[in-house]
Structure 1
């Protein structure tokens, strides 16, 4: 009884792993402060760093993308895709529909909210030079969608979920700790618990910076949207109000047990997205939308291998560095941070299901959404719409609202979109505030639902995300911090390639590393012996 009371009386400081929290927190704060206090100098230094990385190691990014894509397709189509997270007898924690909606609204919806129109339109008005098509011309429509499919679809989602899949495998099946260092166990054994493995955990903490940029995008878009719908002028004070609302809502959801309602909220959110998509399809032209979709998809499939392996060695336009490599980094860096969320909802699913639900299903949604929103926005520009001019004047945050304004009932749908966007970003921030603290704990249960996270730690992560967003918005460090994410992509690439090798070794040698598989084999042997 005394031992239980002692355990219960532990402070948050006693329960967290200081080897992860202190160095990771210091690195994170230094990066944020440097970007906030010295934005110009910081951005200049980072630009030089990124240029050096692209000049010498762009090929490594390409190797990483190609290797992960190959391994993911191998798992989808091979017998190894039948490996179940938690063992053969593991039962999923969520229904298939809820799992799908949690995956969609907790991750990719952030991207389609902000970039569904602005992404294709920017690509349409600024096509790569090596395509030899005029900006804003009919010839630029399909290539812009094709490259959006590359940057926001396959292989981007393979990059985003691969690390999470391997972490889930070593956690649920290998019975290792729920931290990035555990993914290295098949390669370095118990050394993964030393300072060598701790580097991976610290890198995951630093990647929390992505949340600040994502919440910043949400605030920018909602400020623009509410401003245009309500006839208000965009003001910094209203952005502060939005950040406070997000932060308070996240703290409440993450600490009160309301996070358990996230599954229901995600279901509602997914239905709302479907309603908006159907509305756009039938108020534009279903025929035009699907013609654009399948034409672009056909070219994407045809050119898939050349596109993911393209390094722009001849023309050296620089487009690849600021586009494809940028998006690859933007997927690899949050992948390390969002992995804990994917792991927390994946128990009882096979590796094939994990990849289909978290990669191919989102890609199907993204492709359709971008064709409906971005495709019709481009057709509108060809027919005289001033949408791009509005984006240049007011920023990319206005893009979706400017597009909806061209449709019947546009004013109503803009309000619907604002509500859906708010639910989306609250779902995203709650998923981080609830799952991310697991990385900071000294001990995590082998049953993730039994892992007790101090509520103060959930609240601290939520508040930090809010403060980070506010600092970035008002000190002007966003451009520099975008460069930080690209620079972080370099160690993320190296780490992910090491994890890829370790993960393949785990899968091919389950008799050594998979505790659930070993138990199943021993049980089968005992049954055979009795018979």
Structure 2
């Protein structure tokens, strides 16, 4: 009977044509233009993103810092105790499975690519506002501060805003499975009429942002293949790698959250920790610990200043090329990523969600940066020529230069290529799952999965856009695509911040589960129910 009921619900699912076709056609047009006139495509992309950064860098900075402040406010507000889906909601999965999926979705493979290469940029071309000499010890501390800034507290906070907004609106306000529903807390139910437009914009933005992230992973795997097997890293090898990634994450996404995505995330996260142990035991341990701790102190001291830096006073483009670029990238990902992460939070409290989506990923990233980024600085100062390698062979080659200093370097490099592959597959299949869901009418808490064919279409589209981007535009194209994707989403995140703050003052006013509050409107503590899988078993 249960199987028959699910079959009926699946048949009732319908394509939201007004949401699917506009971004898909626009992306297809971009691919055609880039193939027919690549130089004009890149020039146009750079012109648009330069205008965005010149005029709105300050807004990106305020959105990023505002996200951090909002997460802290929510933790201490009455909203922090609210259970997503109400006191009777059962979790979809164990908390650690939730942690693994969240960690791999947020981190993806970007940190693997940039943790060793990016410090070289900041070491030799630091921000003018930092007032440090290029290549100096002070520049090394600044490089570490920047890595902490771009990969830990702030990006995780940005993700939490979209995740909590969607989770509460979907499960506690009984709104439809659409990013347009995120407008309701701020502007009321009438704002839902703009829901389709919001979904279209976010779908386009995510594909641009994901293409940038997948592109860096393809290039990183290409560098590993060249390092280990001598096969040149270039458009030919990138095509094969991109195709393999695309096929794998489509298969994982089609298999559903509780199968492919959960299994891959658990494997991926555990491999991350293996690499942390390897670099800690066989790298320059004392140097890594000393530099990372000192730099962490500098980062915490300068936290607000770093978050708001945009280079306008000194006429310096550094901030727009790095931290503001990252805010654009995170913002490109966050709305639709928040849909997926919010969907799997049912049965957990808002504070559980903040720990899972903010505290744990930020702490993990901090440890990763502390070890890998400081190790790359150590080997550069030791005369291993990491910066020279980067200039000659690209940023994807730097991490393999670091591995060459460790015992069993070839085995470690092969293992690393594997983890990059699994990481980007994990991050991509979760978002493909959410993208297909937004294009489907009829998604409910009981019918959670979109049609498989729709996941395949978006997966192939992502693969095509990614390859075109890296083959014809390279790193410059990757950065431009991220900036383009993050701009419209910035306004949506600001609306989400406003909505969350309204909810946090009086969650009972917005929550349909009125029995979960006492007479004073305070959330009633309720025990967590068993995981849904166990109950059904």
Do these two structures clear the TM 0.5 threshold for a shared fold by scoring above it? Answer: yes
Q: 1:445, 1:451 within 8 Å by CA — same for their partners in 2?
A: yes
- Structure 1 CA distance for aligned equivalents of residues 80 and 430 of structure 2: 26
Match of 1:59 in 2: 58
Gap change, CA 1:32 and 1:237, over 3 Å in 2: closer
Gap change, CA 1:504 and 1:402, over 3 Å in 2: same
**Is 1:501 the equivalent of 2:498?**
yes
Match of 1:206 in 2: 204
- Structure 1 CA distance for aligned equivalents of residues 358 and 425 of structure 2: 22
Moved more, 292-301 or 354-363: 354-363
- Structure 2 CA distance for aligned equivalents of residues 316 and 175 of structure 1: 49
Gap change, CA 1:62 and 1:401, over 3 Å in 2: same
Match of 1:529 in 2: none
**Is 1:483 the equivalent of 2:480?**
yes
Question: 3-state DSSP class of the match of 1:89?
Answer: coil
After TM superposition, give the deviation of residue 312 of structure 1 in Å.
3.2
- Structure 2 CA distance for aligned equivalents of residues 220 and 439 of structure 1: 30
Match of 1:381 in 2: 380
- Structure 2 CA distance for aligned equivalents of residues 54 and 256 of structure 1: 39
Q: 2:106, 2:361 within 8 Å by CA — same for their partners in 1?
A: no
Moved more, 472-481 or 225-234: 472-481
Gap change, CA 1:76 and 1:199, over 3 Å in 2: same
- Structure 1 CA distance for aligned equivalents of residues 156 and 301 of structure 2: 19
- Structure 2 CA distance for aligned equivalents of residues 55 and 466 of structure 1: 30
Match of 2:453 in 1: 456
Match of 1:372 in 2: 371
Match of 1:334 in 2: 333
Moved more, 397-406 or 257-266: 257-266
Match of 2:195 in 1: 197
Question: 3-state DSSP class of the match of 1:403?
Answer: helix
Q: Within 5 Å, which residues of 2 pair with 1:142-153?
A: 142-153=141-152
Q: Within 5 Å, which residues of 2 pair with 1:301-312?
A: 301-312=300-311
Question: 3-state DSSP class of the match of 1:515?
Answer: coil
Q: 1:151, 1:324 within 8 Å by CA — same for their partners in 2?
A: yes
Gap change, CA 1:355 and 1:34, over 3 Å in 2: farther
Could you give the per-residue CA deviations for residues 466-487 of structure 1, whole angstroms, max 9, x where no partner exists? 2222322333376345324313
- Structure 1 CA distance for aligned equivalents of residues 6 and 58 of structure 2: 55
Match of 1:520 in 2: 516
Is there any run of 5+ residues in structure 1 with no aligned partner, and where? 526-531
Q: 1:37, 1:475 within 8 Å by CA — same for their partners in 2?
A: no
Could you give the per-residue CA deviations for residues 87-125 of structure 1, whole angstroms, max 9, x where no partner exists? 223232222222111111233041221112012222222
Match of 1:426 in 2: 425
Could you give the per-residue CA deviations for residues 59-99 of structure 1, whole angstroms, max 9, x where no partner exists? 22222122221111112233431122112232322222221
Match of 1:528 in 2: none
Moved more, 132-141 or 471-480: 471-480
Q: Within 5 Å, which residues of 2 pair with 1:93-242?
A: 93-194=92-193, 196-207=194-205, 208-242=207-241
After TM superposition, give the deviation of residue 363 of structure 1 in Å.
1.7
- Structure 2 CA distance for aligned equivalents of residues 251 and 45 of structure 1: 31
Q: Within 5 Å, which residues of 2 pair with 1:253-268?
A: 253-256=252-255, 260-268=259-267
- Structure 2 CA distance for aligned equivalents of residues 472 and 51 of structure 1: 18
Gap change, CA 1:16 and 1:222, over 3 Å in 2: same
Q: 2:74, 2:504 within 8 Å by CA — same for their partners in 1?
A: no
**Is 1:440 the equivalent of 2:439?**
yes
**Is 1:417 the equivalent of 2:416?**
yes
Moved more, 64-73 or 312-321: 312-321
Could you give the per-residue CA deviations for residues 148-207 of structure 1, whole angstroms, max 9, x where no partner exists? 11111121221133112111110011111121100111233332332x232211111102
Is there any run of 5+ residues in structure 2 with no aligned partner, and where? 522-537
Moved more, 290-299 or 465-474: 465-474
Question: 3-state DSSP class of the match of 1:325?
Answer: helix
After TM superposition, give the deviation of residue 333 of structure 1 in Å.
0.9
Q: 1:39, 1:477 within 8 Å by CA — same for their partners in 2?
A: no
Question: 3-state DSSP class of the match of 2:91?
Answer: coil
After TM superposition, give the deviation of residue 132 of structure 1 in Å.
2.5
After TM superposition, give the deviation of residue 452 of structure 1 in Å.
4.0
Q: 1:259, 1:434 within 8 Å by CA — same for their partners in 2?
A: no
- Structure 1 CA distance for aligned equivalents of residues 227 and 308 of structure 2: 42
Q: 1:35, 1:477 within 8 Å by CA — same for their partners in 2?
A: no
- Structure 2 CA distance for aligned equivalents of residues 323 and 524 of structure 1: 47
- Structure 1 CA distance for aligned equivalents of residues 520 and 127 of structure 2: 58
Gap change, CA 1:311 and 1:426, over 3 Å in 2: closer
Q: 1:247, 1:466 within 8 Å by CA — same for their partners in 2?
A: yes
Match of 2:468 in 1: 471
Q: 1:244, 1:466 within 8 Å by CA — same for their partners in 2?
A: yes
After TM superposition, give the deviation of residue 289 of structure 1 in Å.
1.4
- Structure 2 CA distance for aligned equivalents of residues 213 and 395 of structure 1: 16
Q: 1:35, 1:480 within 8 Å by CA — same for their partners in 2?
A: no
Question: 3-state DSSP class of the match of 1:493?
Answer: helix
- Structure 2 CA distance for aligned equivalents of residues 406 and 477 of structure 1: 28
Moved more, 76-85 or 97-106: 76-85
Gap change, CA 1:57 and 1:261, over 3 Å in 2: closer
Question: 3-state DSSP class of the match of 1:155?
Answer: helix
Question: 3-state DSSP class of the match of 1:445?
Answer: coil
Report how many aligned residue pairs link the two structures.
Answer: 518
Q: TM-score under structure 2 normalisation?
A: 0.90
Could you give the per-residue CA deviations for residues 328-368 of structure 1, whole angstroms, max 9, x where no partner exists? 11111111231222123222222222222212212212122
Could you give the per-residue CA deviations for residues 255-287 of structure 1, whole angstroms, max 9, x where no partner exists? 345861432332222222111111111112322
- Structure 1 CA distance for aligned equivalents of residues 81 and 257 of structure 2: 34
After TM superposition, give the deviation of residue 36 of structure 1 in Å.
4.2
